[in-house]
Amino acid sequence: MASSISTVPHRAGLGHRLWQSRIDYLFLVPGMVIFGLFILYPLFASQWFSLLNWSGFDANQAFVGFANYAELLQDKYFWDAFARSFIFTLSTVPAQMAVSLVFAIILNNKLLRMSALFRTLIFLPVVTPVAIIGIVMTIMLSPFNGPVNIGLLDAGLINRAIDFLGDPNLVLWTLAGIFVWKWVGVTMVYWLAALQTVPAELYEAAKLDGVKGWQVTFFIVLPMITPFAIVIALISAIGALNVFPLIQSMTQGGPYFASEVMEVYIFRNAFATLNGAVPRLGYASAAGVFFGLAIMVLTILQIFAVRYLRSREKPNGA
C-alpha cells in the first residue's frame, strides 16, 4: 500500500522550486529593478497624481478624487488633441505599412542588385535624431526658400509656395508624411522578417504552375504574412502615438493647436504653461492615464483580431 502511494508524483513546494532556480532569478533581478523603477513606478505614480490638484512643485498635494477627469471630459482642447492623435495614427499606420511592404517585397528579391544599399538608405532616417529631422524639414519645407517649394514651383506643379507647417489645414498631414518617411525603415524590417517565413518551396511551386509575379504576391505571399500585419500594425500604432519629439521640434502643436496631439497637450499642461502660470501635473497626469487606457483598449482589440485571424487559419483546430 505504501508503495502505491509513493508512485504519485511529488510536486515540490513553491519556495523549494524558487530556491532551486535561485541563480536564474538572481539574473532577473537587475532587469526587474529597472522595470520597476522606470515602468511600474511611473505607471502607478501617474495614476495617483491624476487624483491630485498638484503643480509638481510643492509638497501640497490636494486630493481631488476624479475632479481632474471630470474637467478633462469638458475640455474642448483635450478632446481635439485626443481626436488628432487617433487621426494621426489612423493615417500614418496604413501608409507606413503599405509603403514599407512595397519596399520589403522589392528588396526581398534576392536577384535585386545593391538591395543592402537601398535597405540602408531607407533605414537611415530611423537612426537620425528627431530634433535634427525637425530642423532640416523646417528648412526643406519653408515657403520662402525651401527646396521642396522651389522644386514644386520650378516644375510648374504649383504657382504659389505652400506653407506646409503654417497652414492649419496642412500641418497635421505634413507632419504625418514626415513621420512615415522617418519610420518606414523600421516597418520595412518587420516585413522583411515576415517574408522570410514564406517557404521557398511555395515560390518554386508557383513558378512551376505558371503563376505570374504579382499573383504570387497577392495570392501566396500576402495571405501567408497577414498574421504578421496585425502585430506590425500594433507596433506601428504605438509608435505613431509617441510622436512628441517630432511635433514639439517642428510646430509645438501649432499653429493654434492645429497639430496638438495628446502628448503635446500633456506636456503643455504639465510643464510648458505660459505667462507665469503654475503647471498642472495632476491634470496632465489624468490626461495621460485616460489616453493610456484608450490605447490599452485599442491593444486589446488588436489581440482579439489576432486570435480571430489565427482561428481562421486553423479551422479544424489543428
Chain contacts with another protein (rule: CB under 8 A): 55-59, 77, 131-132, 135-136, 138-139, 141-147, 150, 161, 163-166, 168, 171, 250-252, 254-258, 271-280
Q: Which residues contact 197 (CB under 8 A, 6 or more apart)?
A: 224, 225, 228
Closer by beta carbon to another protein, 4 or else 74? 74
Question: In sequence order, what E strands does 71-175 have?
Answer: none
Q: Taking the CA atoms of the chain, what radius of gyration do you get in angstroms?
A: 26
Give the nearest distance from C-beta 41 to another protein in angstroms.
14
d(CA 118, CA 116): 5
Nearer to another protein, 182 or 280 (CB): 280
Q: In the complex, what is the shortest distance from the CB of residue 281 to another protein, in angstroms, rounded to a whole number?
A: 10
User: Who's near 270: CB < 8 A, 6+ residues apart?
Assistant: 56, 279, 280, 281, 284, 285
We find the least distance from the C-beta atom of residue 278 to another protein, in angstroms, to be: 5
H helices of 108-170, where?
Answer: 115-127, 130-140, 147-154
CB of 44 to another protein, least distance (A): 18
Query: CB of residue 246 vs another protein: minimum separation in angstroms?
Result: 13
CA–CA gap between residue 296 and residue 306 (Å, rounded)? 15
Burial class of residue 283, CB neighbours in 10 A (0-12, 13-18, 19+):
buried
Which cell numbers hold the place of 141? 519645407
CA distances for 195 relative to 198, 286, 290, 305, angstroms? 6, 41, 37, 21
Q: Which residue lies nearer to another protein by CB, 99 or 150?
A: 150
Q: How far is the CB of 60 from another protein (least distance, A)?
A: 8
- Asked whether the beta carbons of 182 and 125 are under 8 A apart, the reply is yes
Please say whether the beta carbons of 71 and 269 come within 8 A: no
**Considering beta carbons, is residue 94 or 168 the nearer one to another protein?**
168
Please, how many CA atoms are within 13 Å of residue 27, restricted to the half-sphere of its CB?
Answer: 3
Nearer to another protein, 161 or 294 (CB): 161
Cβ-based nearer residue to another protein, 166 or 177: 166
Minimum CB separation from another protein for residue 243, in Å?
16
Query: By C-beta, is 153 or 298 nearer to another protein?
Result: 153
Question: Is the Cβ–Cβ distance between 244 and 267 less than 8 Å?
Answer: yes
Query: Residue 26's Cα: distance from chain center in Å?
Result: 32
User: How far apart (Å, rounded) are the C-alpha atoms in residues 41 and 34?
Assistant: 10
Cβ-based neighbours of 235, under 8 Å, separated by 6 or more = 190
Nearer to another protein (CB atom), residue 107 or residue 165: 165
Minimum CB separation of residue 186 from another protein in Å reads 23
